[in-house]
């Protein structure tokens, strides 16, 4: 027991440091994914046919293959094409591209569930297609997409755990160093698991508050 | 010319990992199915103690990244039995998938009208008998769409056993890239092989869904 407390005492500072990196990667990648998923989702529904196909191909490629292979392709593969990225930018780019595909699909679902009559009505009063999307459809769709988006945020937080494989010093990266330094993999990874449980739990609670705040009143019985 | 030679070498080398990937996925899905159905049964039909155990398993395992679970279980398993990385990795992945599958089956059990359990008990069936012969066959069909989704997730997560040294697609891509010195080629081939696998799996699962759909 005493040795476990000693281990905890030694491990916690660097694990906290790793937590900072994990949160940073998750937050930046989610924002990148949003910046990408928003236009892709809209283009997928309202764009011209050729654009829809192109965007569908991007989504299939990133949803149909494992994140880890995408990460290795970006970090180890792109230098072959003359694009060498540092660890952190490689992590941001890969996770952002990956999350963008998922966020685009969620947004597509939300856009399609806004009543079709609204577009017809907006066009009837003389609005252009894009003006109608921007001012009528999208504001509703963004509120509808929030529950799915929360799931994506939590999934992202967990998926950042693979970036230690390109030597990013996130929570898992620190754990790997610690477990070989103290020859105690099981307790170290258990402590790391607790860290993730706290992170995921806190994120879940915060996002549920957001969902309550922004859900469309009377539309669903959820978030109460 | 050298490029094509490398392409053929790379492709052939990684192709052997496809079977390992399929094996890991199949074992993990089967293990996860056993855990998932058992825990869902405990959650829906068990006594308060079993319900609590099943709920804790589901909440905790789903809050921890799969790769962390694989690490923990890999070292725990190694302490007690001498299993190959393939089996240890697949079991760990299955244990993680079990938590997600338990949520799927919990929903499916709940979706079977409760009157059926009452009726089964009324004609003298035991609870377990009723689950086995009345509830489960219907729940399994109801669970199929969500289960198919989980199957493709496990297929993709099977790359994570890379960390314990299983020679699946990604590991073999890494090995061959060290030999040909063309990582872009190696990981692109790995990615395309994976894409074929997931698209194929989705097709097969959709066929199953159409075949066994249940309207309620």
**Residue B184 to residue A159, Cβ atoms within 8 A:** no
From the list A69, A158, A159, which residue is nearest B191 (CB)?
A69
Nearest CB neighbour to B194, from listed A69, A158, A201: A69
Tell me whether residue A223 is in a domain. no
In tens, the pLDDT along B152-173 reads: 999 999 999 999 999 999 999 9
**Which residue in A has a C-alpha nearest to residue B63's C-alpha?**
A197
Measured distance CA(B84)–CA(B86) in Å, rounded: 5
User: Do the domain assignments include residue B112?
Assistant: yes
| Chain B contact set for A23 (CB, 8 A) | none
CA dist., res. A1 & res. A7, Å (int) = 10
Query: Does B182 reside within a domain?
Result: yes
Structural domain for A207, as ranges: 2-213
Residue A144 lies in a domain: yes
Instruction: State the Cα angle at A27 between A69 and A133, rounded to 5°.
Output: 95
- Please name the member of A76, A161, A197 whose beta carbon is closest to the beta carbon of B187: A76
Provide the pLDDT for residue B110: 93
Q: Is the dihedral of CA A111, A116, A122, A126 positive or negative?
A: positive
- Say how many C-beta atoms besides its own lie within 10 A of residue B187's C-beta: 30
Token output for A55 = 């965007």
Classify A168 as helix, strand or coil: coil
Q: Running DSSP on this structure, what letter comes out for residue A217?
A: T
Residue A41 domain flag: yes
Q: Report the CATH number that the domain containing residue B207 is assigned in CATH.
A: 1.10.3720.10
Interchain pair A77, B187: CB under 8 A: yes
**Per-residue pLDDT for A68 more than 50?**
yes
**3-state secondary structure at position A126:** coil
Give the distance from residue B41's alpha carbon to the nearest chain A alpha carbon, in angstroms. Answer: 25
Q: Taking CA A77 as the corner, what is the angle to CA A74 and CA A78, rounded to the nearest 5 degrees?
A: 65
- Inter-residue contact B129 to B120 (CB < 8 Å): yes
The per-residue pLDDT for range A124-139, each reduced to its tens digit, is: 999 998 999 999 999 9
Residues A163 and B171: their CA atoms lie apart, in Å, by: 16
User: CATH number for the domain including A84?
Assistant: 1.10.3720.10
| Partner residue facing A201 (CB), from B63, B162, B173 | B63
Does residue A218 sit within a domain? Answer: no
H-assigned helices in chain B: 2-45, 48-63, 66-80, 85-111, 115-122, 127-130, 136-157, 169-180, 183-212
Tell me which residue range forms the domain holding B145. 2-211
Residue A3: is its pLDDT beyond 90? Answer: no
Question: What average pLDDT score do residues A194-221 get?
Answer: 86
Structural domain total, chain A: 1
Which of B145, B159, B42 is CA-nearest to residue B93?
Answer: B159
Chain B residue whose CA is closest to A176: B71
ipTM of the complex: 0.91
- Residue B216 within any structural domain of the chain: no
| pLDDT tens, N- to C-terminus, chain B (216 residues) | 688 888 988 999 999 999 999 999 999 999 999 999 999 999 999 999 999 999 999 999 999 999 999 999 999 998 898 899 999 999 999 999 999 999 999 999 999 998 999 999 999 999 899 999 999 999 999 999 999 999 999 999 999 999 999 999 999 999 999 988 899 999 999 999 999 999 999 999 999 988 887 765
Q: How far is CA A72 from the centre of its chain?
A: 18
Total of domains in chain B: 1
Query: Closest chain A residue to B183 measured between Cα atoms?
Result: A77
Task: Report residue A163's pLDDT band, with 50, 70 and 90 as the boundaries.
Answer: very high
Tell me whether residue A222 is in a domain.
no
Chain A segment 32-91 residues within 8 A of B by beta carbon are 60-61, 64-70, 72-73, 76-81
* Chain A residues closer than 8 Å to B71 by CB: 185, 189
H runs (alpha helix) in A125-137 = 129-132
Mean pLDDT across chain A, nearest whole number? Answer: 91
pLDDT at residue A219 in the model? 67
* Angstrom distance (rounded) from CA A24 to CA A92: 9
Residue with the bigger pLDDT between A197 and A218: it is A197
């Amino acid at each position: 027991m005493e040795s476990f407390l000693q281990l905890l005492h030694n491990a916690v500072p660097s694990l906290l440091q790793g937590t900072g990196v994990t949160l940073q990667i998750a937050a930046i990648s989610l924002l990148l994914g949003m910046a990408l998923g928003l236009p892709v989702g809209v283009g997928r529904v309202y764009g011209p046919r050729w654009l829809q196909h192109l965007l569908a191909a991007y989504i299939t490629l990133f949803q149909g293959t494992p994140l880890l292979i995408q990460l290795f392709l970006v970090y180890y593969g792109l230098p072959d094409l003359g694009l060498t990225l540092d660890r952190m930018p490689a992590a941001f780019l890969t996770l952002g591209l990956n999350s963008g595909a998922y966020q685009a699909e969620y947004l597509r679902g939300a856009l399609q569930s806004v009543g079709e009559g609204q577009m017809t009505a907006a066009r009837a009063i003389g609005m252009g297609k894009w003006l109608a999307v921007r001012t009528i459809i999208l504001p509703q769709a963004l509120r509808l997409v929030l529950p799915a988006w929360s799931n994506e945020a939590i999934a992202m937080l967990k998926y950042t755990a693979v970036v230690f494989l390109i030597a990013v010093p996130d929570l898992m990266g620190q754990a790997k160093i610690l477990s070989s330094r103290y020859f105690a993999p099981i307790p170290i990874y258990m402590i790391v698991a607790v860290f993730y449980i706290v992170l995921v739990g806190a994120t879940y609670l915060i996002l549920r508050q957001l969902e309550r705040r922004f859900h469309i009143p009377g539309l669903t019985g959820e978030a109460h | 010319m050298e490029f094509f030679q490398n392409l053929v070498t790379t492709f052939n080398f990684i192709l052997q990992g496809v079977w390992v990937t399929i094996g890991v996925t199949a074992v993990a899905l089967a293990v996860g199915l056993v855990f998932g159905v058992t825990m869902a049964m405990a959650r829906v039909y068990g006594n308060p103690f079993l319900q609590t155990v099943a709920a804790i398993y589901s909440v905790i395992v789903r809050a921890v990244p799969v790769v962390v679970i694989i690490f923990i279980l890999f070292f725990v398993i190694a302490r007690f039995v001498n299993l190959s990385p393939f089996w240890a990795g697949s079991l760990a992945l299955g244990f993680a998938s079990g938590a997600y599958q338990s949520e799927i089956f919990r929903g499916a059990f709940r979706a079977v009208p409760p009157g059926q359990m009452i009726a089964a008990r009324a004609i003298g069936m035991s609870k377990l008998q009723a689950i086995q012969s009345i509830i489960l066959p219907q729940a399994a069909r109801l669970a199929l769409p969500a289960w198919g989704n989980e199957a493709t997730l496990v297929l993709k997560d099977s790359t994570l056993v890379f960390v314990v040294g299983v020679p699946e697609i990604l590991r073999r891509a890494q090995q061959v890239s060290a030999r040909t010195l063309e990582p872009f080629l190696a990981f692109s081939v790995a990615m395309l092989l994976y894409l074929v696998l997931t698209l194929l799996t989705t097709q097969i699962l959709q066929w199953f869904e159409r075949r066994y759909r249940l309207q309620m």
